[in-house]
Chains A and B, each alone.
Chain A
Amino acid sequence: MISLFKRIKLRIKDTATLTQLCQMAEKYAKKRGEGEPGEEHFLLSALELPDGTAQRVFERLGVNEDQLEKAIDQQHIDALSYIGIDASDMSSVANENDDVGEHSNSPFKSKPSAQSLMKELVASRRSDKDIPLLGLHIIEVLSDKKLGIVSRAFEVLGLDQQSVKDAVSIELKNYKLSI
């Protein structure tokens, strides 16, 4: 059990991490030429969190950030091919865009997939109160989803739900041992 004071400190840290995540997700969405961030942009942002746990989960799975971004593009290409659209150059459209710059000062808006991720993330924190919010928690929540862009990107990478969950669980155990 940790003290109430430490728990409050952890929640303050979580708020800072969430703010950082939202700003990075917004940046990723802009970089990929999209308006509002979705779950896939939060996943990419998780890899950049300074705790490094999300990055280590993917290292364990043999996937790097570049491969993950390519898989996200590929699942769009595959989805469009189902209705006879050849969008093989969609990735170039995604990367040539805008001024990525600093995040805007306007109210944060995200796609429904990201809003649902946030809700699930907050709910999942109730069961794991003694450690701060980590990058691996985002992967953990997303690995529960059977449908959606991230799930399809995992499929492109040949990752099944269980192997992702196992990698998260090993990393979580390692993290707890290290503190």
Chain B
Amino acid sequence: MNDTENLPSHKEPEKALAAVVSLRLLADKLEKKAVNEAIKQGWSWTQVADSLGISKQAAHKKFASCIKK
């Protein structure tokens, strides 16, 4: 993770920054889907929060409204 040499090229900032925007979007979607699935599988909000490295309150605040019943 500290080996920045192996990161994709940043020599073309326009392309690299566009990739960053899309990566964030992809990460958000994956996060939302995975949390949804975890809750469906019976995970507690504490488990979800621990996995994401955030507080239980933060996890609940961020994802509770997107949990599909």
Residue positions of A touching B, CB distance < 8 A: 33-35, 75-80, 82-85, 87, 90, 93-94, 98-99, 104, 147, 149, 152
B19 near A79 (CB under 8 angstroms)? yes
Q: In the complex, which residues 43-67 of chain B have their Cβ closer than 8 Å to any Cβ of chain A?
A: 65-66
Task: Give CA–CA (A33, B33) in the complex, Å.
Answer: 10
B8 near A83 (CB under 8 angstroms)? yes
B22 near A87 (CB under 8 angstroms)? yes
Closest chain B residue to A147 by CB distance? Answer: B14
Known: A79-B15, A84-B8, A98-B68. A33 touches B32 (CB 8 A): yes
A82: contacting residue among B16, B25, B29, B33, CB under 8 A: B16
B19: contacting residue among A82, A98, A99, CB under 8 A: A82
Residue positions of B touching A, CB distance < 8 A: 8, 12, 14-16, 18-19, 21-23, 25-26, 28-29, 32-33, 65-66, 68
Known: A75-B18, A93-B33, A98-B68. A80 touches B8 (CB 8 A): no
B66 near A98 (CB under 8 angstroms)? yes
Shortest C-beta distance, A76 to chain B (Å), equals: 4
Closest chain A residue to B15 by CB distance? Answer: A82
Known: A34-B25, A80-B23, A80-B26. A152 touches B18 (CB 8 A): yes
A35: contacting residue among B21, B22, B28, B68, CB under 8 A: B28
Shortest C-beta distance, A149 to chain B (Å), equals: 7
Shortest C-beta distance, A125 to chain B (Å), equals: 28
A83 near B19 (CB under 8 angstroms)? yes
Task: Give CA–CA (A84, B6) in the complex, Å.
Answer: 12
Task: Give CA–CA (A85, B25) in the complex, Å.
Answer: 13
Task: Give CA–CA (A78, B21) in the complex, Å.
Answer: 12
A34 partner residues in chain B, CB cutoff 8 A: 25, 28-29
Task: Give CA–CA (A94, B33) in the complex, Å.
Answer: 11
A152 partner residues in chain B, CB cutoff 8 A: 18
Shortest 10 CB-CB distances between A and B: which pairs? A83-B8, A79-B18, A76-B22, A79-B22, A82-B15, A83-B19, A79-B19, A80-B22, A82-B19, A93-B29
